[in-house]
């Protein structure tokens, strides 16, 4: 193989990354050691689900688990804004920094204190970098206008739009912009003109959209990705199951 491109993808998944992301990184590095090439992290920061960034830690004294997450300015931002547009509140940062010594080593607390980012996606990405998880890894962000402009057109997608003073991620369907409120409930918001730079894919169109830009030769897939990725979209890609890891959905807090 002339130039392998080993890719893995993930939404921002906690200010300390979930252990399954760490396992994807280890798997990609193992493949690179075997065949060479470069590693690309497809950072899907245009997702909007606030549950993605829940960070589960364990109290060092009681061994009790605690789930921490970012706080948000308002309901619209929490429910509907993409992760790159959810703002980091100063009071949340200061409060969480005071709590962290109960759960993680002092060096990680210091990394957290030194991370000063305006939005959730930037904050997570900088923390992963401070933990030295991304050394030698190229990061491609699904929110980047230049990435979106290069991506292939897909039939099912979201559009980033302004709504009540916030950027929201609205599902485009039958000429309408829809915000999902749970179950079968949607709210329609006013339609505006939009271009490729505002579009991000749905789960089912994400891989083809991503691959049209990254053109990976190997893709490290998590357990859920194995179920929904349409591998027929990329017949020349070798899909690799990520290495197993214990407590996969808890935070990775080692250095």
What one-character DSSP code corresponds to residue 117? -
The closest alpha carbon to 119, from 155, 152, 89, belongs to 89
Q: What is the reported pLDDT for 234?
A: 87
Q: What is the mean pLDDT of the chain?
A: 96
Q: What is the reported pLDDT for 227?
A: 85
> pLDDT at residue 184 above 90?
no
The closest alpha carbon to 207, from 151, 168, 248, belongs to 151
Q: What is the reported pLDDT for 255?
A: 80
> pLDDT at residue 40 above 90?
yes
The closest alpha carbon to 50, from 120, 122, 125, 126, belongs to 120
Summarised one tens digit per residue, pLDDT across range 68-112 is: 999 999 999 999 999 999 999 999 999 999 999 999 999 999 999
Long-range contacts of the stretch 223-227 (C-beta < 8 A, 24+): 223/20, 225/9
> pLDDT at residue 232 above 90?
no
d(CA 116, CA 123): 7
Summarised one tens digit per residue, pLDDT across range 135-176 is: 999 999 999 999 999 999 999 999 999 999 999 999 999 999
Output the DSSP codes for 28-57: HHHHHHHH--EEEEEE-TT---GGGG-EEE
Q: Model pTM?
A: 0.95
> pLDDT at residue 1 above 60?
no
């Amino acid at each position: 193989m002339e130039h392998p491109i080993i890719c893995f993808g993930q939404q921002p998944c906690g200010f300390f990354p979930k252990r399954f992301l760490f396992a994807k990184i280890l798997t990609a590095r193992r493949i690179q050691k075997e065949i060479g090439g470069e590693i690309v992290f497809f950072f899907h920061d245009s997702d909007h689900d606030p549950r993605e960034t829940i960070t589960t830690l364990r109290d060092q004294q009681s061994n009790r688990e605690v789930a921490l997450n970012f706080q948000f300015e308002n309901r619209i931002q929490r429910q509907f804004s993409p992760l790159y547009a959810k703002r980091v509140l100063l009071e949340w940062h200061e409060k969480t920094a005071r709590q962290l010594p109960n759960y993680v080593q002092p060096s990680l607390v210091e990394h957290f204190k030194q991370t000063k980012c305006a939005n959730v996606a930037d904050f997570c990405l900088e923390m992963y970098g401070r933990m030295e998880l991304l050394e030698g890894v190229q990061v491609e962000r699904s929110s980047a206008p230049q990435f979106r402009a290069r991506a292939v057109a897909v039939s099912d997608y979201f559009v980033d739009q302004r709504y009540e003073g916030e950027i929201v991620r609205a599902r485009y369907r039958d000429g309408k912009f829809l915000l999902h409120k749970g179950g079968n409930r949607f709210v329609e918001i006013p339609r505006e003109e939009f271009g490729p730079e505002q579009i991000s894919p749905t789960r089912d169109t994400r891989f083809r959209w991503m691959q049209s830009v990254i053109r990976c030769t190997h893709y490290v897939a998590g357990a859920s990705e194995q179920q929904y990725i349409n591998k027929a979209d990329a017949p020349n890609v070798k899909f690799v199951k990520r290495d197993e890891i214990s407590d996969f959905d808890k935070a990775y807090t080692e250095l």
